[in-house]
Structure 1
Amino acid sequence: MKINSIKLITVILITLLLSSCVDDNFEVPTPSGNEENSELSIILGNIASEADWNLVTIADLKARFNSGDAPLLINENDVVKGYVVSSDRNGNFFQEIYIQDAAENPTTGIKVVLNLRNNYTKYNVGREVYIYLNGLYLGETNSRDGIITIGGKIDAADNNEVDVISENQLKDHIFRSAVTETIVPKTISVGEINDNAVGTFVRIENAFFPPALDGEPIVDPNEDFDTQRTLSSCSGAGFSNFILETSSFANFSSVKMQSQTGGFIDAVVTKDFRGDNFVLVINDIEDIKFEDTLCQPLTPFYSQDFESFGSTSDVEAAGWTNVNVNGGSTTFTLRNFGGNQFMQASAFRTGENPLEMWFVSPAINLDSNTDEELSFGTKTGFNNGAALSVLISTDFTGDVTTATWQTLNATLANGPSSGFQFDFTESGAIDLSSFSGDVYIAFKYLGGDGDVTTTFQIDNLTIVGN
């Protein structure tokens, strides 16, 4: 959606003069003839048999580029595979597609810019595509916007930006397989929208338009290009806001918003023009399903921010178990920085390898609540590997080695390798509704001096419910 206004106006005028309306009887396209299939077969054969041909992941590809750098020319026989998740059929995307690394539960995605109108007729949602990268560029269409992009050349107007893959380049670089998968939106919380999510198709549940937008069109009629609308989602004990960005050229731009009901929204994660904010972009107005009663925040019934403690021993006296299972002396410690207190673990300069330490909550009873959700924050410093995991037990009696533990699916901090990250990373809402009675939440650190020594900080443990 990030476009140069002059370029856009020129293309729109040409479109009006030379093209007819979009065919409403669209059918999923198949690869055109044997030539495209043969080319893809050759590429896949080279990957299987030639040492200098590589199938790379989207994550590995994105890791090669740092926001703000000059475009990177790829001069190796690398190929990346992905599944198309965006569509320009309704005018909300322009000269771009987004692909993610799996049809379901993707880990990341990437933007591809191409000089092709109505590209949904060739690269339909769910289509498996292979991109031969040799001769293409990795960069940003707007320098420092943080949206890592595959392009065909350096922009003539700005050497720090990439431009579209030309129609002539397309036939040599982007190949469709015969596979079209059903794209399953990945349900995430607003707090889990991050750089890894850019380019993926996600679902935000318990979402709604605020009353101030009731009756307003989804696109501001005074805007020439994009309109950003702030929506809300119930999140634990409160609300989280997120931005829906819609093009004035979308054929649903005049649809009125309503705030009486809520539900879910399925959309592609990207960023705004300057890269200041994450935004969601829908393919179709039908991607907004607000047909349910408005959600209500859950009520906190357990919280711990460690602010009331004066020392690590005070934390332990309050019922927290803090143990080193290797017999060493290193355990989680209470720390303070910038007026904020948290628990910290690190193997750095401990002289212990391996180092396994556990920090376990007191018993937390769930019987008086329903729909329980756990959340907390983590921060890392001098990250050189994953060391922390989060677990739950219903039979812990004081010995972590004899209890039954189940790993919880939480978003944990990851970076940087030098210094500390600025903000805590939200874990996301972790569903505890299948548990009952007393539960124990454990943070397990597994590392070793001279091995994985990442510093982890933990704060703001909260459990909410109805």
Structure 2
Amino acid sequence: MNFKKYIHSLLAVAIALAGSSALSSCSEDLDYPPLGYPTSDLKANMTILELKDKYWQPNTDNYCTLVEQNELGEDIVISGRVIGNDITGNIYQQLIIQDETAAVTISVTKSDIYKSFPVGEEVFVKMTGLYVGKYANLFQIGAAGTRTDGSPTTNRMDEKTFDAHVERNGAPEPDKIHTFEFSIAQIQGMKNNVSDQQKYQSQLVEIKDVSFVGGGSETWATQGSSGDNRYLQSASGQQLLVRNSGKSNFCTEKLPAGTGTVVGVLQWFSNDWQFVFRTNADCYGFSAAPTEPEAPSDGLNETFTGGIPTSWTNEAVSGNAKWFYRDRDNNGSAEVTGYNKTPGANGFESWLISPAVDLDKVSKKQLSFDSMVGYSGSGTLEAYILTDVDPTKGTATKLNANNIPQANNSWSDWKNSTVDLSSFSGVVYVGFVYRAETAANYTTYRVDNVVVGEASSTPDVPDQPTGEAKFRLATSVTSGNQYVLVVDGQVGSCISESLSYGRLAMESVAITDNEFTTDMANAITITAVTGGYTLVDSFGRYLSMDSNPSHASTFQLYTSAEQGSMWSISVDAQGIVTIVNNLNSNCNVVRSGTFTNIAPSDIEKYTTFDRPVLYELVK
């Protein structure tokens, strides 16, 4: 028994029995913490950073190591103050502490940790007898665990072990916590630096001048889910993954709109940082007032360069096939498809609606737009003039845009439609609606160069480069550039245009001074998007994955970006590229074992593999 604690407890009881007046008159003379706060006799003899440095294995995602006594035969003890707990349920079965050197996560099977370990509470941890290591590359304190393939990892310790090794000391002092201020660019810049990972994994950080992707519309997470990914974004477009639990007490609330400051714990999963909120109250300054509707314009000239403007309304009335931005051959457009989507009661009905236009002020009452169609199916595209931005309200008048191409198995050319609007007046909206009957509808439409006023011409769409081209070793990714993947002097070649899934076969190339030539058909366009990166082959197909376990070793080829089309990508100084699917973090693009192709593979299950080297098109 800790005699000092016992005496303090007895004294506390005596004081309590003496009454509040006695407590008031004597409390300043007593040499122990206020009533109800425990103390610890443990003394730290190692910092958190020293602990991490001693037991850190830089090239291993999962491992565990038993902490023994130090060279003097003493138990190793660390200390810190609580910076994160389970008070809202967004942090689950973890206690996160910080000292003056670093921070660390303690993983424990225990509920309501926050009741005993509030933020600011000083904690001493007797490390001897506990395990440290990594789970999915996050360094933590816990218990020895085993993965499905039998290899070790660090799991949660049980509550009994936790209570025997972790002690509180005194009253919580949250003002002694330090919060590190970073930009998203600075955080992403620390990704490949081991010393930065050691210092800032599990650390409390503040990021200013950021917004939430989907702010004001998306919820924090799907209620009851194990978790959903959301994203913070800087003014320059850099993003940071935010991991939110579907069991938190704020998961059904909307993400804050506008721009502000956030505070949270900088965690790690697999190959990337992830930002974890302790509470949604850690969002500051997101006080953007609702945006007033823009005044009707005196014309419209939309080229969709860089994306679909937020001033356009994107509404799926039936089904979930919303319009999305498409960049093909350096030409941006708005695209919609029923492929791999779920129809509603009335199949698909997907609207893309312009901002308000005052036809009484335009230079010419005329609508002009370009459209093209790809693949087969029964999907149709129609143009309307609407009197309300909500397509289910007001009057919707179908326009005689008879030059919209019809589906015919392959991609059409761009077709220009010009429609007389002289019969309309006042404030209106231009609406494009995609309709299709079934979920297996492959019909895909693109719309571009929407003009109300003087007509535009058909866009000059550059041809896809063909023939031999030079590629050079790359150590970073530039969004929108073209790359190839190489393993053992062999380049991954394009999957046949006739296939809807497959792997990149390997062809030998002669590499000299980190350069070689190969067919441009093998090039993959890597583009930074919300949620990560997309990989698009020379036929315009998204290299993707789905949730079917039998598809875990092949690319699924989609005509539009789906959930499985998003990848996390990092490149080291030797050009070795780590490409991880956001749908399944175990699936990496590698050459697995002795196979002669480059494709997704579950590296947790198949542990022998080669990551490819990245080469960039020399322009």
Q: TM-score, normalised by structure 1?
A: 0.48
Question: Over alpha carbons, which structure has the higher Rg?
Answer: 2
Structure with the larger RCO, 1 or 2 (CA within 8 Å, 6+ apart):
1
Q: TM-score, normalised by structure 2?
A: 0.37
